[in-house]
Each structure stands twice: as C-alpha cells, then as structure tokens.
Amino acid sequence: MIPTLAYAARDSHSPLSPYSFERRDPREDDVVIEIQYCGVCHSDIHQVRDEWGGSRFPMVPGHEIVGRVTKVGPKVKKFKVGDLAGVGCMVDSCRHCHSCEDGLEQFCENGFVGTYNSVEKDGKTPTQGGYSNNIVVRESFALRISPKLELAAVAPLLCAGITTYSPLRHWKAGPGKKVGVVGLGGLGHMGVKFARSFGAHVVLFTTSPGKVEDAKRLGAHEVVISKDPKQMNEHAGTFDFILDTVSGPHDLNAYIHLLKRDGTMTLVGLPDKPPELPAFGLVMQRKSLAGSLIGGIKETQEMLDYCADHGITSDIEMIPIQKINEAYERMMRSDVKYRFVIDLASLKQ
C-alpha cells in the first residue's frame, strides 16, 4: 500500500483538514503519479457540502490533477517513470458498453467511476481525489501532458477545459458561427478562449460590467451585460450556438430568445434548482436546448494536445492546501480569476 497525505472533508459541515490514508499498490496496468498541482472545481464544493446528495465521507476532493509518473505496472505502454501525466473526472468505466466503445466513457451506460466520491469497480474501495500527494490510476484513464505549457495552469483543463471544449467541438463552433458564452468564471473563461481559437465570433454574457475588459482580453469580440434588456435585444435571433456555464439560478429563456432558427443552447453549469422553460421559445424557431458532460478520454487527450499546440491554459491563482477552505468561500463570492490551483508541495510543509 502507498501512504498518502491529503486534505479531506469528514462530513458536509466541517472544514477540510489534514488526512492520511493508503492508496493501493499499482496493478499491472496502473501508473502512480506524484501530484504536483490540482485545480479546484465548483463541483468540489457541491460534493463536499453534499448539495447534490449521496456524498461519501471522508472525502478527498479534486479531479483536475497533474503531476509526474513515479511508477508503472509491467503492462503499461503509454507512460514511463518521469513522464508528466494528468487525471480528470474519471478513473474507470465498464469499458464495454456502446458509449465506452465509442470513446465516450463519460456516458458509460453502467456508470463511470469518478475520481473521488465514487467506488472502484471492486464495489467497495472508495475513490479519493487530487487534494493529495499521489494517485494510482489505470493507464487508460491517465492523460499525457506536454511540457510546453505551465504545468499548474494545465490542471484546470482536465475539467473546466474539456467541459467547454467538448460541446464547442460537437456543435461545430468555428469560422462563420456566432457563439455566445454565458458567465465568465472557471468554465466561461475557457469557453471564450476555445471559441475564439476555433475561429468563431465570440460574445460573452455577464452580469458584471467590471468583467468587460477582461472578457475582451481573453478573446471575446463583444461583451453583453445580461441585465440590460436593450443590449440583450440587440442580439435577438442572431446566435448559432450559446454555451451556458452558469451554475446559479438564471433565466434560460432570455438566452433562448437570442438563438437563430435551428440554433442550440447547451448547458454545462449545474444549477441546484430546476429552471422554468416554457416550450414556446423553442418550438417557434426549432431551437434546441441541450446538455454536455466533460469528454471521453480520447477527446480529453485531443484537447490537451490542441492546447499544447496553441498555447492555451487556464488563468489561475495558486494557493497552498492550507488555504483551501478560504478558497471555497472566495469561490462562492466569484472572487477568483479564474481558477484556484493547489500547489501540493505545501502538503510536505
């Protein structure tokens, strides 16, 4: 067994605190990764606070993991000791259903195994995430990381990156397309970067006038203050695609009104209350409301390679693990530009 240092939530009401546990010894197809950095996702807060239900404690959060391989099993072919590697939101799946065979493990029909707050395929071993100094993972669920990019700023690509890359690719955002991104947070700022890189005309929607210049710096051609009806109406019926990254309650109909005939709005944020959605706004112009969930391992590797080739990373603020509870409170106030990343070297201090 491999001794592991971490920070964990003991229940849904207490702050995260130091925690020690043991990872399994590597199997023949496993890699051991010394974690150097881990991004902090808003879903970490939801699960630590049991806001989605079903949380398992003690819980070590974290699914935006990057580090260096320290050991490989005898059947591992993709990695060698010393390689950079990453782990995203999944560490296993059934590997034989239609979705898995199509490289869409995130839609595994038997349920993928989450990097934390889940149970391994043995049905009993809890998974623990990246707020820790190491992880043991099946080779097929580890990602190759290019040394071209700043490693800490790559970490959020493993969730925030692929969550926005996948729908923008699927709905063919690119030249000649007008693409809206709702919200400029951890997800939204990546959506702006990718949509601009793909060649689309990018419009950022925000409730905060103070984010206008930053949105343009990140790649938005235009910025709309969504609380201003005049600004919103100026864009009515003009969007091919809108990516909604907001997790708080908001009016979806205001954005559906902005779609062209046959336009699509895709949700990647997860509000904890069901939205009101009159059908009229969809049926009159054959508009679509869709959802998207991260990406499969193949597409995630594609995204990481694309980022390496185009110099795309997340805008981050580095913190030591000891400030994780403060970071959670700041995230709830949207007080981060645009993703916290934990320096796991702080676990050794």
Q: What is the pLDDT of residues 32-88, one digit of tens each?
A: 999 999 999 999 999 999 988 999 999 999 999 999 999 999 999 999 999 999 999
Residue extent(s) of CATH 3.40.50.720 domains in the chain: 161-291
* Average pLDDT of the segment spanning 185-193: 97
Class of domain 2-159+295-348: alpha beta
Helix axes 160-170, 297-310, angle to 10 degrees: 100
SS3 308: helix
For the whole model, what pTM was predicted? 0.96
How does residue 111 score in pLDDT terms, banded at 50, 70 and 90? very high
The yes-or-no verdict on residue 254 having pLDDT over 80 is yes
Are 119 and 113 in contact, with CB atoms under 8 Å apart? yes
Mean pLDDT of the chain: 96
Q: Residues near 310 by Cβ (< 8 Å), separated by ≥ 6?
A: 197
Alpha-carbon gap, residue 213 to 233, rounded angstroms: 22
Are 129 and 48 in contact, with CB atoms under 8 Å apart? no
Query: Residue 282 corresponds to which amino acid?
Result: L
pLDDT of residue 275: 81
pLDDT of residue 276: 83
The owner of tokens 């820790």 is 132
pLDDT of residue 273: 78
Alpha-carbon gap, residue 201 to 56, rounded angstroms: 43
pLDDT of residue 349: 56
Residue extent(s) of CATH 3.90.180.10 domains in the chain: 2-159+295-348
pLDDT of residue 82: 97
* Average pLDDT of the segment spanning 92-101: 96
Alpha-carbon gap, residue 237 to 285, rounded angstroms: 9
Best CA proximity match to 345, nearest among 21, 37, 82, 61: 37
Q: Which of 3.40.50.1220, 1.10.8.640, 3.40.50.720, 3.30.70.1350 is the CATH number of 161-291?
A: 3.40.50.720
pLDDT of residue 278: 76
Alpha-carbon gap, residue 24 to 344, rounded angstroms: 20
The yes-or-no verdict on residue 108 having pLDDT over 60 is yes
